[in-house]
Structure 1
Amino acid sequence: MPDAADRSVQAAEMAVFERRSLSLGAAAAAGLPGRFECFRSGGLRASMATASHYGFLNIIEGLTHQTVELLSEVLKTFPEPDQVTIVAASPSQMLADQLLGEGYAPASVRPIAYQRLSTSIRVGGIGTDAWQVQEVSTRNDTTLFLDLLEVGYAATSEIRALIRAEHALPMVRGFIAFRNEEPLAVAAMSLHPTGAVLGGASTLPAARGRGAQTALLSHRVQLARTLGLPLVTATAAPGTPSIRNLAKLGFTIVERTGWCLNDASRA
């Protein structure tokens, strides 16, 4: 039987999968290039984006001793199986050895952070008192939020289109951080049965390092607690300021292992 930590990771992963499903659905509805799909198969959770711009969205999660036998069949549903990242939260050495023996190779880690809302949270921090956080509530707010989000991401036009499509969804709540009445940072949150996902955050370059994202994190976590959600979760690239901010606020960081088909398997 999974322990409390395992159950928390599973709940966090399920919430992130639900958020990714919203994102891919928004991309498809917006007419972005390629095919977008999220599906489940016997405990594995897969997301697919066929256009090369969105290759980072090709993910299979939920890999365990019980689901590894399904992996090869799920991979066959992808046009380019070698471009899929396979994620295991905490594989045993036996599972890792099995993957290596079946032609998979280690890939970069895929951190996920979570915090149970029954525990205390470290709020505030250096400079956060200077920030005022406001939730998006009007059409003008939405336009400002999306513009700030896009500017803060130094991304290609294709990625910016994906970001705007996802964060324009009414299910994704947006927040703007002001300093001296000037809007300088934004972040988003979506609510799911297993928890809240803190996804989508951006700070204008000139305002970085001043505590805006810490203020936005604290605000969203406190809101999720008020709403009675069991946990909050987020994903971020390893070694980034986002991961460090989450750790400072008491989130548990799980560096899930990544796997992919190796060169020999591709041949």
Structure 2
Amino acid sequence: MTAAPPLTPELIERLEAAIHQKGWDALRRAAELEGNPHGVTLFGRGGLWASVVRALPQLPWYNTVSGLTQHRLPELDGALALYRSQQIAPRLSVGAAHLNPALGAALYDRGFTPVGVGATLYAAAEAPPPRTFAGMQIHEVSPGEDTLTFNAVLLAGYGFTDPAQQALAVLENEGPGVRRYLARVDGQPAAAAALSVQDGVAYLAGAATLPEFRGRGVQAALIHRRLNDVASECELVTVTAAFASGSQRNLERQGFRVAQLNTLWSERKSLP
């Protein structure tokens, strides 16, 4: 397997841009729906990005500030004013490459504390070694094809029950350039996954497995298929996972390495 290129600040920014684009595009299209039914507001200034979803105030990944650095604290204050006007407690995502004592102190002074860590991983985009996944079939859902089964598996695998959350999850995987995959085990729908491409970087996303099929290697099969599909058209592949999770270990077994750790911050008063 070809070694991934060495980490540089520019490479990290390139990976994060590919990840950011998919979710931001979905929220932009949600905001453009007639009447903006989910109450989406987007704030982008000076490289800092913030999203507000009034229909889902309790879900931090829809109400998140990203791209935060010490030099973007003035832009952060503008974003925080937006959240205060909506009475929503945001989550801040700060890349480890940008976190320093001055920024940490500034966030603490604004009432925030770290609550978790996420990981961005990457690998060279190349076809993995041939591998057989017994009893599994991976089908790419063609554009214009009936996607009811894909959406049903995706939402059930995530465990989403809120109508707004379901609608946004479906919308995110219907964006331009998004490729969708459905995995079956012995003919039964078992898991769903997606990928998108930006600037030569493939982002593996939208992965969810039905509870009764977990622990059987279905997501490994979906990763394997998507790596095969992007090997000829991309330079890099990236993906996110909870730090030190089973997902991260599964990805590392397939040649991925950590590119960035993201510290997650919440308002102290919003914690239980």
The TM-score normalised by the length of structure 1 is 0.82
The question of whether the paired residues in 2 share the 8 Å contact of 1:75 and 1:81 is answered with no
Change (3 A) 1:204 1:259: closer
> Is it true that 1:34 corresponds to 2:42 in the alignment?
no
Q: How many residues align?
A: 258
Cα offset for 1:144?
2.0
State the alpha-carbon separation in 1 of the partners of residues 205 and 34 from structure 2: 20
2:154·2:208 contact (CA, 8 Å) conserved in 1?
Answer: yes
Q: 1:177 to 1:34 in 2, by over 3 A?
A: closer
| 2:262 aligned residue | 256
Check 1:157–1:99 CA distance in 2 against 1; reply closer, same or farther (3 A cut): closer
2:118 is aligned to: 110
Q: Which residue matches 2:70?
A: 65
Deviations 1:58-81 (A, max 9, x none): 111112232234321222122347
**Alpha-carbon distance between aligned partners in 1 of 2:162 and 2:106, rounded to the nearest angstrom:** 40
SS of 2:70's partner is coil
> Offset at 1:240?
4.3
Secondary structure of the corresponding residue to residue 156 of structure 1: coil
Change (3 A) 1:82 1:180: closer
Question: Does the 8 A contact of 1:142 with 1:168 survive in 2?
Answer: no
In the other structure, the counterpart of 2:194 is 188
Say which of 9, 13, 16 aligns to 2:12.
9
Identity %: 30
Amino acid at match of 1:235: T
Return the offset for 1:194: 5.6
* Alignment check: 8 A CA contact 2:23 2:172 kept: no
Q: 2:222 aligns with which of 216, 222, 243?
A: 216
Match of 1:197 in 2: 203
Give the RMSD, CA atoms, in angstroms: 2.9
2:3 is aligned to: none
Q: Note the 1:1-267 alignment, pairs <5 A.
A: 4-28=7-31, 29=33, 33-51=37-55, 52=57, 54-78=59-83, 79-80=85-86, 83-90=89-96, 91-117=99-125, 128=133, 130-137=135-142, 139-158=144-163, 159-193=165-199, 195-227=201-233, 229-238=234-243, 240-253=245-258, 254-263=260-269
Deviations 1:140-187 (A, max 9, x none): 552221122122221223222222222233532111223334332221
Task: Kindly state the Cα deviation for residue 213 of structure 1 after the two structures are TM-superposed.
Answer: 0.5
Where in structure 2 are there 5+ consecutive unaligned residues? 1-5
Contact persistence 1:187–1:200 (CA under 8 A): yes
Instruction: State the Cα distance separating 1:262 from its structure 2 match.
Output: 3.3
> What one-letter code is carried by the residue in structure 2 that aligns with 1:114?
Y
Letter of the structure 2 residue corresponding to residue 196 of structure 1: A
Moved more, 218-227 or 164-173: 164-173
Structure 1 residues without counterparts, runs of 5 or longer: none
How far residue 54 of structure 1 moved from its aligned partner, in angstroms, is 4.5
- The answer (yes or no) to whether the contact 1:81–1:261 under 8 Å persists in 2 is no
Q: Which moved more, 1:15-24 or 1:3-12?
A: 3-12
